[in-house]
Structure 1
């Protein structure tokens, strides 16, 4: 069984109500639900939430929300690993079936689409991977980044060997939060995900937008309008 899990807490300090805020003609979370369903990869698409409102919207767009998260999984300290472990444990007991693959799809990545999901699964098969994690190229060279001294000194800020033109530097990638696929063995030990057997699925920067602030949301609206 292949299971999609869309984690969506009701609380958001920097952008209140973001998961059900309208992006274009539908709530933010609906973009991810529809992409998951359209991919035809999953046996079940679940939303894990502590919010009645998010649950209602999610069901309207075709996701399953069998329960609201317990309080201990709804705090700022609850981890994705905790949420996944809880849902998979419930599922295997409820359905009497073992899960083969889990895919976490963050609702804050609305421009990740069904094709991205199917491509990532195809890569998992091709590489006989235990896990696939989506990344995109870092927008700015990490060689040009560093901490500052307390007095603002830039002594040693850039290593002499890194003083190059941007185009002469090797690309560096970052997690974009859009897609995490892994086999059943990683349940309750997601901290071990970045190890042998895990491969990157590379996405473009536009599709990799991750909404955390109002500016992020505005950018996603712009990209959606002019895609």
Structure 2
């Protein structure tokens, strides 16, 4: 299976995060190494607009067939459009039809090759249209609220507010670590279909790094292993 690692150069929450040194290696190196160790992945491609990132990822063994255009590198660019661009580019240049692929975000350095292979096995065994990694939420979403500018509460959910924690069904959130798609799902502009499934991951490997707090938490967890 083809792996795509999206890694643009610009990051406002944590500048340079994709190649920021994390316990002795650029953060993106952990994702590249996990993909290369996977028994299910045959090719690892990084989609980036940065020559600096390109140099780093090639050192760690991934491909950069071409730099991503500026139109797909700003904050408004859709992730699905980036995946389409990569797939279309490969198909046009190599005359090779890609029916399925996996996306591994570099901001999930605690995800390893075992998680990847398990998720792909789920995708294959279920004959799924897509598989997305999820993590169990520790607190009920029914406790969440909007907060107005004056600090007052605004209810999001009208029901279940008075229920005890034990009475409320568990909820899960996508942790950003693994996305597996059939090409036909990509064309719908959605991540899910009626044949989509969740690959569940533990909380201690589900850190998705957006800012310095996430980064330092990942360092802490890695230092404990």
Q: How much has 1:106 moved relative to structure 2?
A: 0.5
Paired residues for 1:178-189 under 5 Å: 178-189=177-188
Contact 1:84 1:188 in 2 (8 A): no
Instruction: Let me know the Cα RMSD of the aligned residues.
Output: 1.8
Query: Gapped runs of 5+ residues in structure 2?
Result: none
The answer for the alignment partner of 1:196 in structure 2 is 194
Q: What is the alpha-carbon distance in structure 1 between the residues aligned to residue 11 and residue 153 of structure 2?
A: 36
Q: Deviations over 1:75-129 (max 9, x none)?
A: 2211111111111111112222111211111100001110001000111122121
Q: What is the alpha-carbon distance in structure 2 between the residues aligned to residue 130 and residue 11 of structure 1?
A: 31
Q: What is the alpha-carbon distance in structure 1 between the residues aligned to residue 3 and residue 51 of structure 2?
A: 20
Contact 1:58 1:64 in 2 (8 A): yes
Q: How much has 1:167 moved relative to structure 2?
A: 3.7
Q: What is the alpha-carbon distance in structure 1 between the residues aligned to residue 55 and residue 158 of structure 2?
A: 53
Q: What is the alpha-carbon distance in structure 2 between the residues aligned to residue 42 and residue 92 of structure 1?
A: 18
Is 1:206 the equivalent of 2:189? Answer: no
- Shift in alpha-carbon separation, 1:211–1:155, aligned structure 2, 3 A: closer
Task: Report the secondary structure of 2:205's partner residue.
Answer: coil
Task: Report the secondary structure of 1:41's partner residue.
Answer: coil
Paired residues for 1:104-183 under 5 Å: 104-149=103-148, 151-154=150-153, 161-183=160-182
TM-score of the pair, normalised by structure 1? 0.92
Query: Gapped runs of 5+ residues in structure 1?
Result: none
Q: How much has 1:157 moved relative to structure 2?
A: 7.3
Aligned length: 225
Q: How much has 1:152 moved relative to structure 2?
A: 3.8
- Shift in alpha-carbon separation, 1:155–1:181, aligned structure 2, 3 A: closer
Task: Report the secondary structure of 1:147's partner residue.
Answer: strand
TM-score of the pair, normalised by structure 2? 0.93
Q: What is the alpha-carbon distance in structure 2 between the residues aligned to residue 214 and residue 166 of structure 1?
A: 31
